[in-house]
A and B are shown apart, each in its own frame.
Chain A
Amino acid sequence: MPIYEQTYRAYEGKTLRGFRWWVMVKQELRVLFATRPFLYLLIVAVIHVSFRVFQITVYDMVSMANQSAALMALRNIAMMQVDERTFFDFLRIQSPLVFLVTLFAGSGMICNDFSDNLIEIYFSKPLTRLDYIAGKIVTLVLVGAILTAIPDILLVVLHNLLAPGRETLRETYWIPFSILAFSACIVLPCVLGILASSALFSSQRYAGIAVFMLLFGDSALGSALPGLVRNPNFSVLSLPMAINRMGETLFNQPKKTFPLHWGWSALVIALVCAAAYWALASRIRRAERAS
């Protein structure tokens, strides 16, 4: 027997204004972190981070102990050396994982809202189109940052803590900025492309396959075209190559990808982001009107 009458009561609490997109971000992250496959993928990312922690710890301990012979030996093993290349490689190796994780997390993010008829519910609340889009984008960008920028910056901090001194600081003070910029180059096109695909296709599976095929086709084009026209600069048409070229520039690495100016790579990345955002925003605008 109920101890009080279960009836409808007026709500007398306060309501806050603004930042509705942040409510969406929190909810999406809550749902994602309750999903087991997503957690497994994060564990895979932790393995790589653990290896880098081990690498930096060993290198810094040896260098701080002034064991010159051991240090020389370590420097000969490229994999164990710690410099800007280490942080660049960390992001480069993480990028396929970023793609997989955001594909898993994002491919159903919008199409499921459509198929579950949730769009209509959301837009009947004080939520704008921009809030909705921002909520989805920020969620995936945060997931991408968890895999790229955040651990990489923490590795730089770890390096400075284990080998404290002006020299380390002088060598690494600029690296966090490069990490943030390169992370953005990896994460943003990935996130926007996946969300656009999720908005355009009716099912999570189709959205995932479409992104995968598009990336595969683009990479194939970027690999085949330079050979056909005998000009390596055409590799810029491949998004992964353009992103890699940006990384080489941001981390002062030799141009191994193609010799074309990095501005072209930035343009390709910006165009991909703009096209994906346009597709995403126009689909949501249509959905709001049709819901």
Chain B
Amino acid sequence: MAIIELTDVEVSYGAVKALQGVTCAVQGGAVGLLGPNGAGKSTLLKTLLGFIRADAGEAALFGFKLPEQALEARQRLGYMPERDVVGRKVSAVSFLTYCGCLFGMKRTDAMERAHEVLNYVGVGESRYRKMQTYSTGMCQRIKFAQALVHDPKLLLLDEPTNGLDPEGRIEMLQLIKELVHKRGVTVLLSSHLLPDVEHVCDHVLVIHKGRIVREGSIGDLTTARENLFEIRVRENKEAFRQALEQAGCTLQTHPNGNLLVEKPAAMNPRLFFEIAQQKKTQVRHFVPVRHRLEEVFMQAIGRR
């Protein structure tokens, strides 16, 4: 049974179609939800939370039909919204305990769990402070913690690294990664930050104008490009460069100083090594250049 199952889901706001024939099945792992603003990412998340009833098609979480059995589904999922959350008069411990109780946990269990989860997300001793005194980064951690308090099987994360400093961002991504790989939690990560998605997720769904325009594992999508290679040689760099140009290759310099060489389609890559031997140099670095996720994304939404 798929954890998330959408079949021909259509959602519209009046005349505007927010989702059109969305079909996908998520079996587990970490899935990145990518798309430009207004693509339908938030509508998809709202449909999965059971806030919105699909005009057509079927949506189900853990086999529970949405929105009819949304409460059963929500019992098993944690949601981290994009917008900042501030509980003015309560501490983080109190807020998380309350959230735990809303999931039906006993107050003592919820409190114990709140402490555990706050430790886990790195809030530490600040957990006793009123939430209104927290920085954006702290609020982000609290939002993450409230999604974890009941030990969900599925996490819906909307821009989880917003407002975090570089160190905090890496920590957050590591936590998400750990949850996926060590705890078996399924994550649907909606983000504009492609490196974040690339860091955490195994699969991506690219959504554009309400349709899923590309989906698959990141490994498959970012396949090696057939004719583009990154090469570094030990010496006689200029002679090597000229020889490559004479062989019909197009050359560029990578920001790291290596050569980006695009060979003619008919040329055998073995020729690079023969040229190097002729020019009395050694090839020290030779890798085929892969498609970057950014390129895949831009291509999918028709910008490139």
Contact = CB atoms under 8 A, between A and B. Distances in A.
A50 interface: no
Nearest to B90: A31
B51 A8 contact: no
A126 B86 contact: no
A127 interface: yes
Interface stretch (A9-17, A75-83, A84-92, A243-251): A9-17
A9 B116 contact: yes
B79 interface: yes
Interface string A261-291: 0000000000000000000000000001101
A253 interface: no
Given A20-B102, A117-B86, A120-B83, A8 B75 contact: no
Contact of B79 (A7, A20, A26, A124): A124
Interface string B160-198: 000000000000000000110001000000000000000
B71 A126 contact: yes
B51 A291 contact: yes
B68 interface: no
Given A6-B120, A23-B98, A31-B89, A121 B74 contact: no
B111 to A, nearest CB: 12
Contact of B71 (A14, A34, A112, A128): A128
Given A13-B109, A121-B99, A289-B51, A126 B183 contact: no
A15 B156 CA distance: 21
B150 A15 contact: yes
Nearest to A22: B101
A68 interface: no
A122 interface: yes
B179 A8 contact: yes
Given A27-B98, A116-B85, A125 B103 contact: yes
A289 B51 CA distance: 5
Contacts of B179: 8
Contacts of A35: 89
Contacts of B119: 6
A291 B90 CA distance: 22
A113 to B, nearest CB: 10
A84 to B, nearest CB: 41
B105 A15 contact: yes
Contacts of B52: 289
A8 B99 contact: no
Given A6-B120, A11-B151, A124-B79, A16 B104 contact: yes
Interface in B85-109: 85-90, 94, 98-99, 101-106, 109
Contacts of A120: 79, 81, 83, 85
B255 to A, nearest CB: 38
A258 interface: no
A288 B70 CA distance: 13
Contact of A23 (B81, B101, B151): B101
B87 A118 contact: yes
Contacts of B78: 124
Nearest to B109: A13
Contacts of B218: none
Interface string B6-49: 00000000000000000000000000000000000000001001
Nearest to A289: B51
Interface in A103-162: 112, 116-118, 120-128
B81 to A, nearest CB: 5
Contacts of B99: 121, 125
A8 B104 CA distance: 20
Nearest to A26: B101
A8 B183 contact: yes
B120 to A, nearest CB: 5
Contact of B120 (A7, A26, A123, A128): A7
B146 interface: yes
B148 interface: yes
Given A8-B117, A124-B156, 7 more contacts: A6-B116, A6-B119, A24-B102, A116-B88, A117-B85, A126-B104, A128-B71
Q: Which A-B residue pairs are the 5 nearest by beta carbons?
A: A15-B104, A11-B151, A124-B79, A16-B104, A125-B102
Interface of A: 6-11, 13-17, 20, 23-24, 26-27, 30-31, 34-35, 112, 116-118, 120-128, 288-289, 291
22 contacts: A6-B119, A8-B117, A8-B148, A8-B178, A11-B151, A14-B106, A15-B105, A16-B104, A17-B104, A27-B98, A30-B94, A35-B89, A116-B87, A117-B83, A121-B79, A121-B81, A121-B85, A121-B99, A121-B146, A124-B79, A126-B71, A291-B81
